[in-house]
Amino acid sequence: MRNSKTHFGLAAVALCGLLLPNPAAAQLCADNSTTIYWVNHLWRTASNNVDALAGTQIVGDYWYTWAATISSTEQVSSTTIHTGSASVGYGGNNTIVAGGTAAGLQWDDPPSTRGAGAYSLSNYHQAYSECGGGVLTQVTYDSLSVNQPTIGGTPITTQTPYALYNLGSGTADPIYTSNGSENYSYNQSVVLTAQTNCGVSDTCNDTPQWTISSPASTLNLSTSSGSQTTLRVGPSMGNCQYDTPVSFSIGGFSSSTLTFAVNSPTALNRTLSFTSAIPFGYQTGIQYELLDACFPHNVFWTMPMSEQFGLSWSYGSGVAGWNPPTPDPWASFNVNYYTFQDNIFASCSACIPTAVYTESAAPYLYNTPLQSGQHNFNAGSTTSGVGASVYSGTIIYYQDHGDNQP
């Protein structure tokens, strides 16, 4: 409590002119126990409110021989929210400032109503005794900065824009990635921290209450109460729409809002295909970019990938010795940080017909399918069939090249 005080001792009698109708009497209005407090107090309470307390208080052996007044004004960022005065006569007490002779004012305001800003309390104090001697006055001032609560957390401080990534069931969280010079994480959850922004000397400690405006299938919170909560993706894949606001309140005082999106890998963009000669056959390389759910699409950086083939295969007439391929995992993109290459190769001298190399690119010499089957790509995991489905089509082997067709 910020109190300034003035002590009066026996020597103050002459100064205060402590004279009585009967000069022979020895009555006093002050001694060395007499203290005047200029009460001036502005702080945050346990309930997060802003409490203002001002008063003029006289204590000591002769408190009952004093009267007191107080006039105060409280403002928030230059806007007056309270003004008032109080006074008590000799030996009075209005109970707001306890003990002795006391005149006091008190206001208690929730920031949820008054808002954030610079709070100030200006006071004019007066005290005077029944023995005369004039009026003692004092001007006091107190200030308090009230900041809106904010949301923090890792990696919130470095994650712009605020997006979580649904990479499908069974995928790692987070998936770290890089473009060679910058690092990033495709996070499927993030721990949010309530930053109350209370001052060091404040006592505000209400339990933060979290809110989210989103279907649980898209985003949900691990808990709605406490200093921390985990924001995590639900089963629904992302649509890249920034439509999920998250905030918390403490004592009814709402924090700033973070608006999140859920993003997901959704499709492949084929950028290049070519064929090379290998012993007893060919290898066709088809390069892809991995696209997100936004429009226009963004390209994912290095992302774990896997492929999966169907159980049934179709073969052309007279085809023999051509075996189904084996799925390949890509722990990272194998061309550069935004491109991976699917390699379709046939190397079989005993196959009928024999695999051959004729051209590096279309048009090829042979265009009759020899074998084909279901072909799928998933992003987010190297485990076959795990992650976000980004491609479903048909893989086709020709005598001199291979191809993927949606």
> Residue 91: pLDDT above 50?
yes
Domain boundary among the residues 118, 146, 174 is at 146
State the average pLDDT over residues 133-161: 82
Judge whether residue 107 has pLDDT over 90: yes
End residue of a domain, out of 205, 240, 263: 263
Q: How confident is the model at residue 49 (pLDDT cuts 50, 70, 90)?
A: very high
Domain containing 176 — which CATH number?
Answer: 2.60.40
Q: How far apart are CA 140 and CA 157, in angstroms?
A: 40
Same domain for 157 and 223, yes or no, is: yes
Question: Same domain, yes or no, for 28 and 137?
Answer: yes
The pair of structure tokens assigned to 6 is: 């003035």
Whether residues 336 and 200 fall in one domain = no
Say yes or no: 9 and 140 in one domain.
yes
* Span 271-319, pLDDT tens digits: 999 999 999 999 999 999 999 999 899 999 999 999 999 989 999 999 9
Same structural domain, 136 and 157? no
pLDDT tier at 19 (50, 70, 90 boundaries)? very low
Check whether residue 252 and residue 360 sit in a common domain. no
Among candidate residues 93, 117, 146, the one where a domain is terminated: 146
The answer to whether 175 and 186 are in contact (CB under 8 A) is: yes
Q: Are residues 374 and 335 in the same domain?
A: yes
Residues 53 and 88 in one domain: yes
- pTM over the 0.85 mark: no
- In terms of domains, do 317 and 234 share one? no
Mean pLDDT of all residues in the chain?
87
Structural domains counted in the chain: 3
Do 207 and 300 fall into the same domain?
Answer: no
Q: Are residues 118 and 177 in the same domain?
A: no
Q: Do 237 and 278 belong together in one domain?
A: no
By CB neighbour count within 10 A (0-12 exposed, 13-18 middle, 19+ buried), where does 246 fall? buried
Query: Domain of 47?
Result: 2-146
Q: For residue 11, what pLDDT is reported?
A: 22
- pLDDT for 72 equals 98
